[in-house]
Amino acid sequence: MRASFIIKGDICYSKDLENLITKEDSYLICLDGVSKGVFDHIPEEYRYLKVYDYSGKIVMPGLVDLHVHAPQYHFRGLGMDLELLDWLNTYTFPHEAKYADIEYAKETYSKFVGELEKSATTRAVVFATLHVPSTILLMNMLEESGLVSYVGKVNMDRNSIPELQEQSAAESAESTIKWLDEIKSKFKNTYPIITPRFTPSCTDELMEKLGDITREYKLPVQSHLSENQGEIAWVRELCPDTKCYGESYDRYGIFGREVPTIMAHCVWSDEYERNLLKDRGVYIAHCPDSNMNLASGIAPIRRYLTEGQRVGLGSDVAGGAYLSMFRQMTDAIQVSKLFWRLVDEESKPLRVEEVFYLGTLGGGEFFGKVGSFEDGYEFDAVVIDDAEYRTEDLNLHQRLERTIYLSANKDIAHKFIRGNQIF
């Protein structure tokens, strides 16, 4: 049995992309860890429940990070003068190689998980490294934290440094199966996700084996797509018989449809690839902080929303320097303004309610009924004390906007995940 209670406060949530609901002094009902909706008064049938009175504070769904690299937390903010491929070779691969050492993993993963716990994030989809023991350690820590997450042991059998590369497709697939067997039925809130790093890191043979594993174990997939122009040109050389980068995954059945899939970035997806993304129902993880740092470009999110693509937000630490999903929301607005001003005058900038949707419900849908307070949604909530930047004349919508731009972890008063109070 999960927890049942009522929260009183100033409540904000998205109904859908267009509709942000803001209700002051209202009551949010949690029954067995599931939202029953928001009410002006406590309905008769719920009068028996305990009420947490957070009057004057903002209550919103927990935020969802659709794309983050746990091992990279330890070196964020470094090498930001480089573009993707040089940054990977110079900083990322040598750093991730250190996770062969479980003691090192213990020390640094505990900082990552500790920081995530303090943040407004309640759900995350995480890349670990190719090492099985440290990936399991990370999953143990995330489970302990109460967060709900997907975690991927990374697969890479080509084009890396010797210290961070699996010997063959067979070895990579075997180690993935070993990992899956070791964690079977071990966790309540921590799920495995198949994680080919990106096409340049995985041979066709490995992609094929990973396709078989996703179908056999019924697992979702995460990877990177069309992030950087040099990367895309390289994929074209590696896979000359594909019409777009996305097809290098799709031809092995690891691009949406029957296996739920997240592709990070999609900065440069052409019309053919966009049609494939839409057709397969792939989730696009928009990572604006990372796209700026690695000078990857500006993803055309307005266009994706108009096309009806599935979109959420990702921190992509350490491409992104910050774990804060509020920060990703503001960055998403800011880069969309640059896109409008400098690239396409027809492409209207994103609005506050739209980025709030992306950071809650947009990404939340990957987890099921997550990211809203509508009846039937899993109860993930954060309570924010906005006293420091609140002025008398603001309505709740404006207070939410300022919270997105200005709040820090210290302003998060309480956090609930699946009805469990984390703090």
Q: Cα(91)–Cα(82) distance, rounded to whole angstroms?
A: 10
Q: Which residues pair with 123 in a beta bridge?
A: 64, 148
Among positions 175, 190, 248, 290, the unique one binding ligand GUN when judged by CB under 6 A: 290
For Fe ion, which is the closer residue by CB, 38 or 264? 264
Helix 204-217 and helix 169-183, axial crossing angle in degrees, nearest 10: 20
Q: Is 316 in the site for ligand GUN (CB under 6 A)?
A: yes
Q: Select the span of 164-172, 210-218, 309-317, 340-348 touching Fe ion (CB under 5 A).
A: 309-317
Phi-psi category of residue 99: left, alpha or beta, with phi > 0 → left and psi -120 to 50 → alpha: alpha
For ligand GUN, which is the closer residue by CB, 209 or 224? 224
406, HSE (Cβ side, Cα atoms, 13 Å): 12
The residue nearest Fe ion at its CB is 316
Q: Select the span of 41-49, 84-92, 112-120, 272-280 touching ligand GUN (CB under 6 A).
A: 84-92
For ligand GUN, which is the closer residue by CB, 196 or 364? 196
For CA atoms 273, 279, 282, 285, the dihedral sign is positive
For ligand GUN, which is the closer residue by CB, 17 or 78? 78
Q: Report what 317 binds from ligand GUN, Fe ion, none; CB cut-off 5-8 Å by kind.
A: none
Among positions 9, 71, 146, 319, the unique one binding ligand GUN when judged by CB under 6 A: 319
Q: Is 197 in the site for ligand GUN (CB under 6 A)?
A: yes
Helix 102-118 and helix 132-145, axial crossing angle in degrees, nearest 10: 30
Q: Report what 175 binds from Fe ion, ligand GUN, none; CB cut-off 5-8 Å by kind.
A: none
Q: Which of residues 255-294 bind Fe ion (CB under 5 A)?
A: 264
For ligand GUN, which is the closer residue by CB, 92 or 347? 92
The residue nearest ligand GUN at its CB is 319
Q: Is 224 in the site for ligand GUN (CB under 6 A)?
A: yes
Q: How many residues bind ligand GUN (CB under 6 A)?
A: 11
Minimum distance of ligand GUN from residue 17's CB (angstroms): 26
Q: Report what 62 binds from ligand GUN, Fe ion, none; CB cut-off 5-8 Å by kind.
A: none
For Fe ion, which is the closer residue by CB, 152 or 256? 152
Q: Is 88 in the site for ligand GUN (CB under 6 A)?
A: yes
Q: Is 316 in the site for Fe ion (CB under 5 A)?
A: yes
For CA atoms 303, 309, 314, 320, the dihedral sign is negative
CA distances from 64 to 48, 120, 147, 304 (A): 32, 9, 11, 19
Q: Report what 105 binds from Fe ion, ligand GUN, none; CB cut-off 5-8 Å by kind.
A: none
Q: Is 198 in the site for ligand GUN (CB under 6 A)?
A: yes
For ligand GUN, which is the closer residue by CB, 224 or 399? 224
| Strand (E) or helix (H) holding 292 | helix 288-293
Q: Report what 88 binds from Fe ion, ligand GUN, none; CB cut-off 5-8 Å by kind.
A: ligand GUN
CA gyration radius, the chain: 21
Q: Is 135 in the site for ligand GUN (CB under 6 A)?
A: no
Q: Report what 198 binds from ligand GUN, Fe ion, none; CB cut-off 5-8 Å by kind.
A: ligand GUN
Q: Is 153 in the site for ligand GUN (CB under 6 A)?
A: no
Residues near ligand GUN (CB under 6 A): 69, 84, 88, 92, 197-198, 224, 227, 290, 316, 319
Chain residues in the site for Fe ion (CB under 5 A): 264, 316
